[in-house]
Amino acid sequence: MTPNAAHDPQDPSGRRIVAPGGPRLAFSFDDARLEACEGETIAAALLAAGRPVLRTTERRSEPRGLFCNMGVCFECLVEVDGHANLRACQTVVRAGMRVRTQRGFGYRDAAAELGE
């Protein structure tokens, strides 16, 4: 933990450690409104919110979540604002971002949703 960092008083789960007074950003995950701390990755924000499942597999729809947390394994793929296959562990949350659980390979679903 860095100096001046502490457990976030606004996080009842006690999972998030932040510098005091940091700004909050609102974003959505599967149409649920969530908050993230400025500079936090999607993966960190979702784990702090108790949402560990980020995608499902193509064949069996098995849940997948964060594994390596450094952009190597590709287990944390999500759809962001209609774009599939973004790594949640490498993508920083932006205000108003729409994140969705990626189903299978993602491209087919995202393109159909956008009317393409």
Residue 82 lies in a domain: yes
- Residue 100: what pLDDT? 96
Work out how many domains the chain is built from and give that number: 1
- Both tokens of residue 94? 């932006």
The model carries a pTM of 0.76
Average the pLDDT over 34-50 and give the result. Answer: 93
Q: Can you give the CATH number for the domain in which 37 is found?
A: 3.10.20.440
pLDDT in tens, 51-110: 999 999 989 999 999 899 898 999 999 999 999 999 999 999 999 999 999 998 876 554
Residue 5 lies in a domain: no
For residue 100, what are the domain limits?
26-113
How far apart, in Å, are the Cα atoms of 38 and each of 44, 62, 66, 96, 114? 11, 31, 20, 13, 28
Residue 49 lies in a domain: yes
Residue 19 lies in a domain: no
Average the pLDDT over 34-63 and give the result. Answer: 93
